[in-house]
A and B are shown apart, each in its own frame.
Chain A
Amino acid sequence: MALEHLARYIYDCTRCGFCRVWGWKGVEYVCPTYPHTTAWDTEYARGRVRLARAVLENELEVTPDMLEHIYECTLCGSCAVHCPIELPLVDIFHALREEIAARGHRLDSHQQIALFIERFDNPYGPKPDEEVVPEYARKSQAEILFYPGCTNTRMAPEEVQAVAELFQGLGLDFAIFDDDTCCGIPLYEIGQMEGFRRVAGKTLELIRKRNPKVIVASCPACYRALKVLYQEEEELRHDFEVQHLSEFLLPLVPGRLKPLLEKVTWHDPCVLGRHQGIYEEPREVLRQVPGLELVEMESHHADSLCCGAGGGVFFTRQDVAAKTVESRLEQALATGARYLVTSCPNCYVRFRQSIRKGRRPIRPASLATLINEVLKHGTGTDDASGD
């Protein structure tokens, strides 16, 4: 949405400052990255709205330093759900990015994302020689199409393998999208809408060729792109049904899973929870595992703490992302859970890195890998790298 269409909300901000810290009801910091920055007012929502106003009114020159503060935000939406006057803060911050990108302001890291996507249709660069999608899942057409997304295929290929085994184990007629084109959301998140539309159009065309009835995604960002963002662009509208993996699995797994006598905690990915309201489906899938004890972290559901990687922060401020994930990990460890489960490759990869580095006594797992294991034999995931 254009920044000018959100002007009313930008002017509505009362500057109350409730979007900085709470220390109340399980919400230590409203803004997950703020405590890991230099903590100027422009490094959480109140000040960023001020910057949106400055850009809207052409009051200030957009400088590289200003871009840094704008792009320190993970677009997690915590400020929006904790805003007492309910400002659409994620929309404002995205529109701000769209506006400054349209004016030609880009961080160096954004140039690289854009370049790779333009050249390879993928922010991670050229497709590796080794095929991630198993042969049996590489079909030209199927009723169910799993769209893995580039972060899964490049950073967590075990997710793709697990989904293939899981769907096969459930006896489904399915294919896994293996063309390596990105859904476009990395460009959407940094405001580069033209590039987003181009790569999304290409991806949609490749999906159309497979003619599925339902598209399933375990990455919440891909899911949001396919289900919501494409429908907001005239040239990207489609009639495919899109489901998140948790929604898709829920009717299929009851009574079919073997026991797992472990304590498990669920991390709500921001794009799945706060952005799309999917909180209960993954929890309900986990509850279908006999013996599994589901425990909540201090912050959960709409109050959940971001892993720190969203909104392109992983590409732009790895230092901030690395510190932010530690805060979330501390909450997970405090539950005493054996497994930290999520269904977002960004969150999962960040947890995995941090757990391995710190040799923390908890195992990172995706919903797909965990459910696949308990469908097969109920002993847990193989990715026991945390201890």
Chain B
Amino acid sequence: MSDEILRRLAEIVGEEHVTDKTFIRAAYTQDFGVQPPRWPAYVVRPGSAEEIAAVVRLANEYRIPITPRGGGSAQEGGCQSEGGIVLETLRLNRILSIDESAGTVTVEAGITFVKLMAELEKRGWKIGIAPSGAMAGTPGAHVSRPGVGWGNIKYVCQGDQVIALKAVLPTGEIISTGTRANPNARPFFRYALGPDLAGLFIGAEGAFGVLTEITLRMYPWPKQIYLERYVGTNLRDAVEIFRQIAHHNLVCYISVPVIEPEHILFDVNVEGDPPEVEYRVQRIRDIVRQYPSVRYEGPDAPSQFWERRWFLTGEEFKQGIAGAVNYFLPFDKLEEATYIMREIILRHGIRRFAQQMFPEPTGAEHVNLLFHHSGDKEEYAKIHRAIGEMMDKALELGGAPYSKGRQWAPYLEKHLGGTGYWETLKALKRALDPNHIMNPGVLGL
């Protein structure tokens, strides 16, 4: 190895876990979205927090940027690096402890969600939130976005499930948060000892450090999981139903995978003990019954979907790679935003797209997927123009993206620049990452 950085990275992680080979780096140039390729100079696969800390210290020494990457299955380019080090966490793939007393599970950052969930299910437990891409996605990446997912209404957001984090700071120190900050304590409570430093990393997309361990809440596997499907013809009515169901906390989640004019398809997922499920389903039906524009479609189709859910989430991408514009909006903005975004999509001549919604207790995740085949340069250019306009518009409407990556950076700066929040964020970045090496460019930092 003639390259000094490569040689020193190999000393830290072992020769087989670092590369500068072009053909391997090629596979780390993109994620699951439409951001243009960015070529890292090195890819490194550390096996411990200590190795990550050493890699980070080396990156500071050489002033070379470092970008954490989990399964590479997000859509906004947060795990890309131009000329820096991509630090892949997939070797950190163990369940470290299942604490049935506290109701927490502590995992390494690079385990995939489905593996974690399958193991918990065997023991009669579950986590609250899982991403659609659970087959490839990792808790480290999901907390860093911070992801939402299936379980949005009952469990809200992956950030809300976090009890404790262990992270490597941009200068190489290792910290733990919550009760875990006390070396004598287990991770069992988040808001303890002092300010909630977990919040520094949740949603930071790696700008403030590399997550190495995550402690999430876990819950007893419900005795019954029941799903049923509805189809509506009026978006305003449908959103009003979502709002009422969410405010009364009647479901685990509502999934709205299809929003077309006069065709809004949604599934509700109810979990609990059978009498509780029966009561909740009755309450949902009572709400829906007030809206003649919505018809009951029964439990069969969503139940079949549920059986193969983690696999089938990938099926909609038969339409192509998606430029994703996803953000939160309050309930009373959802209808307007749907039509505005649809107008932009159609005006740009996008041929294949999907609009979706995943309600939360206080609003909903509004999803716009603009599909193309990656060899189609003309369609790719149209999608880029459209998603730029859509991100700008979403922020103007009062929307807030949860997964930002590099895609949202210029629009965040445009709308948030000069605010106290933005300036504080930048000050924190300067303080914690003086050499500006930790995933520069995400969030606009």
**The stretch of A14-22, A165-173, A244-252 that contacts the partner chain:** A14-22
B133 with A16: CB separation less than 8 A: yes
B317 with A8: CB separation less than 8 A: no
Chain A residues within 8 Å of B31, by CB: 15
Q: How far is the CA of A63 from the CA of B117 in the complex (A)?
A: 40
B23 with A69: CB separation less than 8 A: yes
Residue in A closest to B135 when the chains form the complex, CB atoms: A18
Contact of B373 with A by CB under 8 A: yes
Chain B residues within 8 Å of A131, by CB: none
Residue in B closest to A57 when the chains form the complex, CB atoms: B375
Asked, given contacts A12-B373, A60-B26, A85-B315, whether A23 binds B114 with beta carbons under 8 Å apart, the answer is yes
Asked, given contacts A16-B73, A41-B72, whether A84 binds B23 with beta carbons under 8 Å apart, the answer is no
Q: How far is the CA of A7 from the CA of B376 in the complex (A)?
A: 11
Chain A residues within 8 Å of B313, by CB: 84
Contact of A24 with B by CB under 8 A: yes
CB distance from A18 to the nearest CB of B (A): 4
Q: How far is the CA of A42 from the CA of B23 in the complex (A)?
A: 8
Q: How far is the CA of A17 from the CA of B376 in the complex (A)?
A: 22
Chain A residues within 8 Å of B23, by CB: 42, 51, 54, 60, 63, 65-66, 69
Contact of B347 with A by CB under 8 A: no
Asked, given contacts A8-B375, A23-B114, whether A15 binds B32 with beta carbons under 8 Å apart, the answer is yes
Which B303-320 residues sit within 8 Å CB-CB of chain A?
Answer: 310-315, 317-318, 320
Contact of B112 with A by CB under 8 A: yes
B28 with A41: CB separation less than 8 A: yes
Q: How far is the CA of A14 from the CA of B117 in the complex (A)?
A: 24
A42 with B24: CB separation less than 8 A: yes
Q: Which one of A12, A41, A65, A85 contacts B314 once the chains associate, using CB atoms below 8 Å? A: A85
Chain A residues within 8 Å of B4, by CB: none
Q: How far is the CA of A11 from the CA of B31 in the complex (A)?
A: 14
CB distance from A12 to the nearest CB of B (A): 6
Which B354-384 residues sit within 8 Å CB-CB of chain A?
Answer: 373-376
B71 with A39: CB separation less than 8 A: no
Contact of B21 with A by CB under 8 A: yes
Contact of B280 with A by CB under 8 A: no
Which A52-68 residues sit within 8 Å CB-CB of chain B?
Answer: 54, 59-61, 63, 65-66
A14 with B32: CB separation less than 8 A: yes
Q: Count residues of A near B (Cβ-Cβ below 8 Å).
A: 36
Q: How far is the CA of A20 from the CA of B70 in the complex (A)?
A: 12
Contact of A258 with B by CB under 8 A: no
A22 with B375: CB separation less than 8 A: no
Contact of A82 with B by CB under 8 A: yes
Which B72-124 residues sit within 8 Å CB-CB of chain A?
Answer: 72-73, 90-91, 112, 114-115, 117-119
A38 with B311: CB separation less than 8 A: no
CB distance from B268 to the nearest CB of A (A): 24
Q: Count residues of B near A (Cβ-Cβ below 8 Å).
A: 44
Chain A residues within 8 Å of B16, by CB: 38
Chain A residues within 8 Å of B19, by CB: 40
A23 with B118: CB separation less than 8 A: yes
Q: How far is the CA of A7 from the CA of B73 in the complex (A)?
A: 22
Q: Which one of A8, A14, A24, A54 contacts B26 once the chains associate, using CB atoms below 8 Å? A: A54
Contact of A86 with B by CB under 8 A: yes
Query: Interface readout for A17-45 with B: 1 if CB under 8 Å, 0 if not?
Result: 11011111000000000000011111000
Q: How far is the CA of A46 from the CA of B136 in the complex (A)?
A: 11
Q: How far is the CA of A86 from the CA of B317 in the complex (A)?
A: 10
CB distance from A114 to the nearest CB of B (A): 24
Q: How far is the CA of A121 from the CA of B354 in the complex (A)?
A: 55
Which A310-335 residues sit within 8 Å CB-CB of chain B?
Answer: none
Residue in B closest to A59 when the chains form the complex, CB atoms: B26
Residue in A closest to B70 when the chains form the complex, CB atoms: A17
A16 with B115: CB separation less than 8 A: no
Asked, given contacts A38-B16, A41-B72, A42-B24, whether A22 binds B135 with beta carbons under 8 Å apart, the answer is yes
Q: Which one of A22, A40, A61, A69 contacts B43 once the chains associate, using CB atoms below 8 Å? A: A40
Q: Interface centre among A11, A13, A24, A54, by most B CB within 10 Å?
A: A24
CB distance from A288 to the nearest CB of B (A): 33
Q: How far is the CA of A84 from the CA of B311 in the complex (A)?
A: 6
Q: Which one of B27, B32, B310, B376 contacts A24 once the chains associate, using CB atoms below 8 Å? A: B310
Chain B residues within 8 Å of A17, by CB: 32, 71-73, 133, 135-136
Residue in B closest to A49 when the chains form the complex, CB atoms: B27
Chain A residues within 8 Å of B28, by CB: 41
Contact of A202 with B by CB under 8 A: no
B375 with A11: CB separation less than 8 A: yes
Q: How far is the CA of A60 from the CA of B39 in the complex (A)?
A: 13
Asked, given contacts A7-B375, A42-B27, whether A86 binds B318 with beta carbons under 8 Å apart, the answer is yes
Query: Interface readout for A66-93 with B: 1 if CB under 8 Å, 0 if not?
Result: 1001000000000000101110000000
A60 with B22: CB separation less than 8 A: yes
Q: Which one of B114, B314, B373, B374 contacts A16 once the chains associate, using CB atoms below 8 Å? A: B314
Contact of A50 with B by CB under 8 A: yes
A20 with B373: CB separation less than 8 A: no
CB distance from A155 to the nearest CB of B (A): 31
Chain B residues within 8 Å of A66, by CB: 21, 23
B17 with A38: CB separation less than 8 A: yes
CB distance from B364 to the nearest CB of A (A): 24
Contact of B30 with A by CB under 8 A: yes
Chain A residues within 8 Å of B432, by CB: none
Residue in A closest to B73 when the chains form the complex, CB atoms: A17
CB distance from A124 to the nearest CB of B (A): 32
Asked, given contacts A15-B72, A50-B26, A63-B23, whether A23 binds B112 with beta carbons under 8 Å apart, the answer is yes
Asked, given contacts A24-B114, A50-B27, whether A85 binds B318 with beta carbons under 8 Å apart, the answer is yes
Contact of A47 with B by CB under 8 A: yes
Q: Which one of A8, A20, A22, A39 contacts B45 once the chains associate, using CB atoms below 8 Å? A: A39
Q: How far is the CA of A51 from the CA of B91 in the complex (A)?
A: 23
Residue in A closest to B21 when the chains form the complex, CB atoms: A65
Residue in A closest to B29 when the chains form the complex, CB atoms: A50
CB distance from A181 to the nearest CB of B (A): 37
B374 with A11: CB separation less than 8 A: yes
A46 with B27: CB separation less than 8 A: yes
Q: How far is the CA of A11 from the CA of B371 in the complex (A)?
A: 13
Residue in B closest to A15 when the chains form the complex, CB atoms: B32
Residue in A closest to B114 when the chains form the complex, CB atoms: A24
Chain A residues within 8 Å of B71, by CB: 17, 20
Residue in B closest to A38 when the chains form the complex, CB atoms: B16
Chain A residues within 8 Å of B30, by CB: 15
Asked, given contacts A60-B23, A84-B315, whether A16 binds B90 with beta carbons under 8 Å apart, the answer is no
Chain B residues within 8 Å of A18, by CB: 133, 135-136, 311, 314
Q: How far is the CA of A40 from the CA of B376 in the complex (A)?
A: 28
Chain A residues within 8 Å of B26, by CB: 42, 50-51, 54, 59-60
Residue in B closest to A62 when the chains form the complex, CB atoms: B23
**24 interchain pairs, CB-CB under 8 A:** A7-B375, A12-B320, A13-B374, A14-B32, A16-B135, A16-B136, A17-B136, A18-B135, A18-B136, A18-B314, A20-B112, A21-B112, A23-B114, A38-B17, A39-B45, A41-B24, A42-B23, A50-B26, A51-B23, A59-B26, A60-B22, A63-B23, A84-B313, A85-B314
Supplied contacts A12-B320, A47-B27, 14 more A-B pairs, CB within 8 Å: A14-B32, A14-B314, A14-B322, A15-B32, A15-B321, A17-B73, A20-B112, A21-B112, A40-B45, A41-B27, A42-B24, A51-B26, A51-B27, A84-B311
Interface residues of B (CB under 8 A from A): 16-17, 19, 21-24, 26-28, 30-32, 43, 45, 71-73, 90-91, 112, 114-115, 117-119, 133, 135-136, 310-315, 317-318, 320-322, 373-376
